[in-house]
């Protein structure tokens, strides 16, 4: 009799024979006690290995959780089975949370569009995130957090969910500048309509399929073009172009996610105009033809902060090499991220 959960060392033909086997072949294990189940959950998380998720938070249990095996989300939470949830991130660097306030503002705007009322006021959400990051002792990585309609039942309406839920996790990860360029493709996966693209909700299936399509074609990721033929964004990044007369152009944000990093870049880039390296900085509607004539192209996002793009649909951008203005913009953002107390407005300290 086979156990019903396929193990990683099972061969495809074994899996196929399982699919065609009779239901009597399968003996489903019944966990006889909570301690047996907890033991099983702990098998995945060896205490010797560095913890990829050093701290988590759940409003359902009301506290910070240091044991990843114990971080669970109820299956009747509407974020799990209906996608009724929103999320956001912030980068952790050298004891600071970069642009936490801008991300929190967008988080609450997303929640309002998704008609989710936070279980806590903004100041409490912020305090939980700062305390969580402190408890994690993580110096470099990302902080991700979700607001959900909450647990209650399996219906569509959240009216049977007594309380919305707040979850968060610290992810220990390397955050560094990107000096190498990547290739991109135009996505054939339909992009989200403006209502859903402008809120950061948990329905990222189009984004996932769009990245998978790019990977299938040997590219890093993709570019979405909207119904009117204007450049939109990447699957979890914004995109920017530099024209041959040195204009920095970002697609306008009315139908896409308002990227915190892209917005910050728009504030910082005028420094390159003052230095005479860029001619101007603007947001605009940009056609594919105009965009493909650019001399430089880049992705922009919290964890990058800038990723040079050197080819699009197999066609080189400019001379097909990483652009020097792209790297100058990358340096501007990077210095802003590591500036710590010098940019107190943006960097929230969590380690004293």
Chain residues that interact with ligand PLP, rule: CB under 6 A: 233, 236-238, 257, 259-262, 301-302
Radius of gyration of the chain (CA): 23
Catalytic-role residue among 200, 271, 279, 282? 200
How far does Cα 243 stand from its chain's mean position? 28
Strand-pair category, 280-284 with 247-251 = parallel
Q: At closest approach, how far in Å is the CB of 310 from ligand PLP?
A: 20
Q: At closest approach, how far in Å is the CB of 240 from ligand PLP?
A: 11
CA dist 37 and 278 (Å) reads 60
Q: At closest approach, how far in Å is the CB of 233 from ligand PLP?
A: 5
Q: At closest approach, how far in Å is the CB of 327 from ligand PLP?
A: 18
CA dist 167 and 63 (Å) reads 10
Please name the residue ranges forming H helices in the chain. Answer: 12-20, 34-43, 78-81, 100-113, 122-136, 194-197, 205-216, 260-268, 270-274, 288-292, 324-338
271 is catalytic: no
Closer to ligand PLP at the Cβ: 222 or 238? 238
CA dist 108 and 226 (Å) reads 26
* Beta bridge pairs of residue 287: 230
Closer to ligand PLP at the Cβ: 187 or 238? 238
Closer to ligand PLP at the Cβ: 262 or 291? 262
Kindly list the strands in the beta sheet with 140-148, ordered across the sheet, starting from the edge strand earlier in the chain: 63-65, 55-58, 165-172, 140-148, 85-93, 96-98, 347-349
Closer to ligand PLP at the Cβ: 203 or 246? 203
Closer to ligand PLP at the Cβ: 65 or 238? 238
Q: Is the alpha carbon torsion for 336, 121, 111, 153 positive or negative?
A: positive
Q: At closest approach, how far in Å is the CB of 88 from ligand PLP?
A: 7
Tokens 């649909």 sit on residue:
313
Which amino acids are annotated catalytic? Answer: 200
């Amino acid at each position: 009799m086979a156990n019903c959960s396929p193990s990683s060392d099972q061969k495809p033909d074994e899996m196929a024979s399982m699919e065609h086997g009779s239901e009597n072949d399968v003996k489903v294990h019944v966990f006889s006690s909570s301690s047996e189940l907890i033991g099983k959950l702990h098998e995945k998380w060896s205490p010797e290995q560095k913890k990829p998720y050093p701290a988590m938070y759940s409003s359902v249990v009301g506290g910070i959780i240091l044991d990843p095996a114990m971080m669970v989300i109820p299956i009747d939470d509407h974020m799990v089975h209906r996608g009724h949830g929103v999320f956001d991130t912030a980068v952790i660097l050298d004891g600071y949370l970069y642009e936490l306030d801008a991300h929190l503002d967008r988080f609450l705007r997303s929640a309002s569009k998704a008609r989710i009322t936070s279980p806590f006021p903004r100041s409490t959400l912020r305090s939980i995130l700062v305390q969580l990051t402190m408890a994690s002792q993580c110096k470099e990585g990302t902080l991700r957090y979700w607001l959900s309609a909450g647990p209650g039942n399996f219906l569509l309406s959240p009216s049977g969910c007594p309380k919305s839920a707040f979850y968060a996790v610290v992810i220990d990860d390397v955050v560094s500048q990107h000096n190498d360029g990547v290739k991109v493709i135009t996505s054939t996966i339909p992009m989200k309509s403006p209502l859903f693209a402008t809120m950061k909700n948990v329905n990222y299936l189009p984004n996932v399929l769009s990245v998978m399509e790019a990977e299938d074609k040997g590219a890093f990721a993709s570019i979405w073009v909207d119904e009117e033929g204007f450049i939109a964004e990447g699957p979890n990044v914004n995109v920017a172009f530099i024209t041959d007369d040195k204009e920095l152009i970002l697609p306008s944000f009315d139908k896409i996610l308002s990227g915190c990093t892209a917005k910050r870049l728009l504030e910082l880039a005028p420094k390159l105009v003052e230095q005479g390296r860029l001619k101007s900085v603007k947001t605009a509607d940009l056609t594919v033809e105009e965009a493909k004539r650019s001399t430089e192209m880049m992705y922009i996002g919290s964890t990058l902060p800038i990723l040079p793009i050197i080819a699009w649909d197999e066609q080189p951008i400019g001379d097909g090499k990483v652009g020097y203005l792209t790297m100058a913009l990358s340096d501007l953002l990077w210095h802003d991220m590591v500036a710590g107390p010098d940019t107190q407005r943006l960097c929230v300290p969590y380690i004293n």
